[in-house]
Structure 1
Amino acid sequence: MDAPLYALSPEHLTFGGEKTLGFFEGHDGIRLRYAIFRPDHATPRGTVVIVQGRNECIEKYLETIRDLTAAGFVVATFDLRGQALSGRLGRNPRAGHVRHFRDYLADVDHFLSAIVEPAAAQPIHILAHSLGGLIALSLAPRLGARISRMVVSAPLVGLSGLPVSPRLAFSVAAFFSTFGLGEKPLGKERGAMPFDGNPLTSCPTRFGDFSRLRETHSDLGIGPPTARWLNEIRKAMTRVLRPEHLTGITIPTLILAPALDGVVPFTAMEGLARRFRAGRLIPIPGARHELLMEQDRYRAQALAAILAFLPEKTEPLTD
């Protein structure tokens, strides 16, 4: 079944090669929207699987997808469960909810095995942002024989910028989850985020374009996270930072760390890199959380690092 793909103008949907849009059945039968974009190259350089962040969608990555396909990569991605045009969860479809963090992992695993691997160009890499970075790092010990290299941009290994301290927010989330109130949103849904003072990007053009797209297609967005979502994230961050977990990751990994990130503390990303023998940290001074939506001077650094890190040819994978 075909899936829609939105844009502010037809030019935003212009790619050199073919694209495939559709839905696939994720873990426990939920319907997930996916897309595959192919370069206009006889022999692709490989495949990049983009694992999205919270409250993101395929449309947010169209510019990056054009950059990657122009570099010769096939690009595959899907909307995470509970957001954008994938199946929503819980009684309030606008709430950012998940029942179990492991459901995200099962969806990525199934996407790889059912959609990507049967037809993708080798080698296969992962590019993951924020929540997607936490998902990729959580799943990585089981992907050594399937994924060649991994890039995590501002991986969600800590939280900052909350109205209250992270410790209090996590305590409230755990309390609500324990007593059957896990679907309670932690906050009220407000209007569009103003550009001034936003923690995501210093680029007014990219910020404005995506804000207008969300206004035109409100089904692409979600509201505040639920208590259950935040509690599941807390537990996942604790697990992924354990030395025994990081030791089990053999995939060479690039950690792109915006120095002015207002969502994930830079110190948390530094701490991840110190304990992660397969990981290498590249700080981007001056950049905020969404590196691939940043001003050109920051975004170009991130994109150059990604393309330099991904190999030109297939490498033998580590078991």
Structure 2
Amino acid sequence: MTLFSTKDNPVPAGAQTGQVATADGVSLRFARWDPEGPAHGTVCLFAGRTEKIEKYFETVRDLLKRGFTVAAMDWRGQGGSQRLLRNPMKGHVEDFADYQYDLEAFMREVVIPSCPAPFFALAHSMGAAILLDSARAGERIFDRMFLVAPMLELSLVKHDVAARRLARVLTGIGFSRAYVPRGRRVRLNEFHFDGNRLTSDPARFARNLTITMEQPQLDVGPPTIGWVTAAFDLMDRFAEPQTARAIRQPLLMVAAGDDQIVSTPAIERFGTRLIAGASLVIPGARHELLQERDAFREPLLAAFDAFIPGSAR
């Protein structure tokens, strides 16, 4: 499987790429890198919804400099992994439990056989929610998990209760694979830095847009009604107080103070209930903390260095 470079976003040297099949028959793209010297362990990098490995090349370099082997994958239905519907632009999944097949296959076929222990996770948004769901189910795959803006509750949805009801009704009557109401693929020339809710860094915003413009096959559009219904089901489980208390996985959640995509208060509430974890907030930052300005990104990496043992930084 191929990784794609752009002028301002070259593939980090030494990439090893391939594909792996899940237990339910979905093909996933993965990549891994080794540091120049002895590795202090492996950081597994898990992206959010719509994202691809290419978006995290800068983060891969940061981790390699810290002395870690890095392993990354694209979730089913996005990036370079197999799409699930005839229309490849539809972001779809029937049940968030399906993502556990992706996690299991990636760890079993890629990380455990060929990457040095201990294993750590660095996950963003939807990816962080998937890892939390694994921990909720009693899995203990990683020594520690560093979760950036985990998707515990959405802040961009108005009339939350009504949206939940509508999504479940539409799914129940057979519209699971349709785009969310008014959901459409926004043309690339309609994306503008001004007013975007993801990052305050114009250079990183432009870099990520260039990846999509030059490699549109890696892109994915709005979610389907089924995806939204499955996400609401997962977030409802996270809202139950006993969910956080049942997790024994050591973890740190980092929230963005100006997050307009997921709910920062929900992350803080969840953090107070954890027995082996905590949360912190980076004031003023937007949702994509790893794509933010250095003023926000550097405190995030400092928190990573403090929490993940073995970092050379």
Please give the per-residue CA displacement for 1:154-178, whole angstroms capped at 9, x wherever unaligned: 000111223x423232222111111
Contact 1:260 1:285 in 2 (8 A): yes
Superposed CA offset, 1:48-70 (max 9, x none) = 11111000000011000000011
Distance 1:110 1:142, change over 3 A: farther
Q: What residue number does 1:103 align with?
A: 98
- The corresponding residue for 2:24 is 28
* Worse-superposed segment, 188-197 or 70-79: 188-197
Q: After TM superposition, give the deviation of residue 26 of structure 1 in Å.
A: 1.7
Correspondence 1:1-319 to 2 at 5 A: 3-9=1-7, 12-15=10-13, 18-41=14-37, 43-141=38-136, 145-162=140-157, 164-186=158-180, 187-192=183-188, 193-312=191-310
Identity of aligned residues (%): 37
CA deviation digits over 1:142-198, x for unaligned, max 9? 565431000110000111223x42323222211111111100101111123211111
**SS of the residue aligned with 2:123?**
strand
Looking at structure 2, the residues matched to 166 and 20 of structure 1 have their Cα atoms a distance apart, in angstroms, of 43
- Change over 3 Å in CA distance of 1:161–1:240 after alignment to 2: closer
Q: Which moved more, 1:243-252 or 1:168-177?
A: 243-252
Q: What's the offset of the Cα at 1:235? A: 0.6
Number of the residue aligned with 1:316 = none
Q: Find the residue that maps to 1:13 and give its secondary structure.
A: coil
Inter-CA distance 176–268: structure 2 relative to 1 (3 Å threshold): same
**Code of the aligned partner of 2:208:** F
Matches of 2:119 and 2:12 in 1, distance apart? 24
- Contact in 2 for aligned 1:144/1:250 (Cα 8 Å): no
Q: Kindly state the Cα deviation for residue 244 of structure 1 after the two structures are TM-superposed.
A: 3.0
* Amino acid paired to 2:184: K
Query: What's the secondary structure of 1:269's corresponding residue?
Result: helix
1:200 is matched by which residue type in structure 2?
L
TM value normalised by structure 2: 0.94
- The answer to whether the Cα contact below 8 Å between 1:83 and 1:221 also exists between their aligned partners in 2 is yes
Structure 1 residues 165-174 or 266-275, which shifts more?
Answer: 165-174
Q: How high is the TM-score relative to the length of structure 1?
A: 0.92
Q: Is the CA contact 1:199–1:289 (under 8 Å) kept in the aligned structure 2?
A: yes
Flag the 1:144–1:88 CA change in 2: closer, same or farther, 3 A.
Answer: closer
Q: How much does 1:141 deviate?
A: 4.0
The answer to whether the Cα contact below 8 Å between 1:27 and 1:103 also exists between their aligned partners in 2 is no
CA shift for structure 1 position 117: 0.6
**Unaligned ranges ≥5, structure 2:** none
Contact 2:8 2:207 in 1 (8 A): no
In structure 2, distance between residues paired with 1:145 and 1:137:
10
Give the aligned residue type for 2:307: F
Asked if 1 retains the 8 angstrom alpha-carbon contact of 2:268 and 2:280, the reply is no
* Secondary structure of the corresponding residue to residue 28 of structure 1: coil
- Asked if the contact 1:95/1:224 (under 8 Å) is kept, the reply is yes
Q: Larger deviation: 191-200 or 59-68?
A: 191-200
3-state secondary structure, aligned to 1:263: coil
Q: After superposition, what is the alpha-carbon deviation per residue over 1:69-125, rounded to whole angstroms, capped at 9, x for unaligned?
A: 110001111111011111111232111101221110121022111210112111101
Q: Which amino acid aligns with 1:54?
A: R
1:7 offset after TM fit, Å?
1.7
Residue 169 of structure 2 aligns with an amino acid whose one-letter code is F
* Structure 1 spans left out of the alignment, 5+ residues: 314-319
Using a 3 Å threshold, how does the CA distance of structure 1 residues 145 and 157 change in structure 2: closer, same or farther? closer
